[in-house]
Chain A
Amino acid sequence: MKNTRDTQLLFELSRPGCRATRLPACDVPELPLCELLPTASMASTPPNLPELSEPQIVRHFVNLSTQNMSVDTHFYPLGSCTMKYNPKRNERIAGLPGLAELHPYQPESTLQGMLQILYELQEILQEISGLAVCSLQPAAGAHGELTALLVASAYFRNLGQKRPIVLVPDNAHGTNPASASMAGFQSVTLKTTSDGFVDMDELATKLNDQVAVLMITNPSTLGLFEPHIRQIADQVHAVGALVYLDGANMNAILGVARPGDFGADMQHFNPHKTFSGPHGGGGPGAGPICVTKELAPFLPAPIVVPCDRQEPCDHQETDEKGSGPTYRLDWDRPKSIGRVRAFFGNVGVLVRTYAYIRTHGPDGLRRVSENAVLNANYLLSRIKKILPVVQDDRCMHEFVATAAQLKAEKNISAMDIAKRLLDYGFHAPTVYFPLTVPEAIMIEPTESESKQTLDDFTDALFRIIEEDPQLLHGAPHTTSISRPNEVQAARQQILSHPEA
């Protein structure tokens, strides 16, 4: 049951002299600190942290946790985020000491199980994407975008070509143009048609030998499969440019269509979306990328490879069969762009990804997409009777409704609906994205929701739009807080608790 008492800040709970942790006495002969450290580099006082007891800490954070909606407690149809169930078995597995307590610089001979998981995952992601080589290094989807664009840039540099432009459709995730800028490209916006597809005339106008990459999200951010994807890719390739696939929406096409087959040269995966890695309140994610054979030499190092039996890896440990280690890290990649982070990658997320994929197998993964698309279409077919839906009749794994008409007629905005849904016990969909749809409400139910939940959600939406607009402007009414003053937040900038 929710604790309704005010939740104070840690700092307000602090009582001088309180302690939650006792450390063991030092068991080695101690020297005076002044003999070990120069006085100038020593702090005169301990850090100004709050002083608390363990029970206090636990109650504080557990009570805070109840102030969240989460996938485990609520339907969370946040479009574009694929908020599916996060399997408990994956959590237990990722916590195994043999996986969680590995240091990144351990010798490879002590990591053969881990390297096997990572190697197999590379192979699995290559097969799902239809692309040749995988790098598991990037830490998030946006990080994967940046990495792939740096790979593309190295590829063109190697060809001696200067191509300063990256084309980005106007309904793309904001990370796409931001990644392009970060990678040193000029991001040029491509207008899309009212259906959210690439405008072929616009593409023809903007495509030339200055273009390095077209970044495309397919299925698109409107939840539709780009009908001309193959022609688009062919035209991009015809001017010598590359196609990057933003893999945010892979949950719709697992085992159905492969980016490599429809013309992508590179893509990232969002394992925290598609492969059920918990979103963690905003991270961690991971952003593995797959690329064609031509781009592979430029991928970050290292990549996991099987040991060449002729030239066994330089280890004394042997595996079960006594034939030496099976996997090693390949650092010998002279054309590589280098590193995009320290250490191998977000391995904890990748292990969960591996566990998720191994649980499903090839047919199971297709079932995931079928049911994600089924749920989305079912919800669409019911919601289109309440709100206009951009896609009309059919969508892939998500769809975008609009409250524009409602706004004009009754002054009920997408935000009002989003806030009121919280009162009905549902997390809000994504609102005001994509930017190309006014009063957008982007709904992605995922495959792990039941028909009953979708029906309940539809019923709530139906009731909400009939409610008094005034009631909606003040929503939510049942949460601990309502409609925070964001202007004051941005102007006053209270970004930490003031020190006493």
Chain B
Amino acid sequence: MNQEDLLFAKTHEWVAISTEDGQPLATLGLSAFAVEALTDLVFIELPEVGQQVKAEEPCCEVESVKAVSDVYSPVEGEIIAVNDALPDALETLSEDPYGSGWIAKIRLAGEPDLTHLMDYKTYQKQCEEES
């Protein structure tokens, strides 16, 4: 996916909104900046398919050796797919964060509120300020 087409959360997750079977769908991942900052990830605990997630609330976790970070869902809905290949190939998160490094797909609960999300440019600015 092209990073320019994605929406980013303050907490460094990205979402891509698409339509599947006429239903709005969000794909969730971690930004390249976040993966870099977390350094040496050793584990991801994926959300469960069927799990209900709320916007701006934790939906799963990533771990480095001495830190645990929550991954926040930018949108509300139900997890309908997770990237099962990820736990055994964590390098994908840094190698292809916006493609094969996706984490989960969320079926949106109605029209999503995306106002709290940023476009790529604005997000880049936030990252520059943080680093």
Contacts and interface: CB of A to CB of B under 8 A. Distances in A.
Nearest to B90: A491
A491 B64 CA distance: 10
Interface in B54-70: 63-66
Interface string B70-92: 00000000000000000000100
B39 to A, nearest CB: 9
Contacts of A35: none
9 contacts: A432-B66, A486-B66, A487-B40, A487-B42, A487-B64, A487-B65, A490-B42, A490-B43, A490-B63
A21 B63 CA distance: 45
Nearest to B65: A486
Interface string A478-500: 00000000110011000000000
Contacts of A491: 42, 90
Interface string A99-143: 000000000000000000000000000000000000000000000
Contacts of A432: 66
| B interface bracket (residues with beta carbon within 8 Å of A) | under 10
A486 B65 CA distance: 7
Interface of B: 40, 42-43, 63-66, 90
A192 to B, nearest CB: 21
A399 B43 CA distance: 34
B95 to A, nearest CB: 16
Interface string A427-453: 000001000000000000000000000
Given A486-B66, A487-B64, 8 more contacts: A432-B66, A487-B42, A487-B65, A490-B42, A490-B43, A490-B63, A490-B65, A491-B90
A288 B85 CA distance: 48
Nearest to A492: B42
Contacts of A486: 65-66
B42, B43, B66, B90 interface centre (most CB from chain A within 10 Å): B42
A432 B64 CA distance: 16
A125 B65 CA distance: 39
A347 to B, nearest CB: 36
Contacts of B40: 487
Interface string A452-492: 00000000000000000000000000000000001100110
A432 B63 CA distance: 18
A173 B90 CA distance: 31
A11 B42 CA distance: 29
A428 B60 CA distance: 35
A490 B65 CA distance: 7
Nearest to A487: B40
B102 to A, nearest CB: 21
A11 to B, nearest CB: 26
B67 to A, nearest CB: 11
A299 B65 CA distance: 38
A81 B130 CA distance: 35
The 5 closest A-B pairs by CB, nearest first: A490-B42, A487-B40, A486-B65, A491-B42, A490-B65
Contacts of A490: 42-43, 63, 65
A209 B65 CA distance: 39
Nearest to A486: B65
B10 to A, nearest CB: 20
A486 B40 CA distance: 10
B9 to A, nearest CB: 23
Contacts of B42: 487, 490-491
A431 B40 CA distance: 20
Nearest to B40: A487
B84 to A, nearest CB: 17
Nearest to B42: A490
Interface string A370-405: 000000000000000000000000000000000000
A486 B43 CA distance: 13
Contacts of B65: 486-487, 490
A494 to B, nearest CB: 14
A415 to B, nearest CB: 11
A411 to B, nearest CB: 16
Nearest to A489: B65
Nearest to B63: A490
B76 to A, nearest CB: 23
B130 to A, nearest CB: 16
Contacts of A487: 40, 42, 64-65
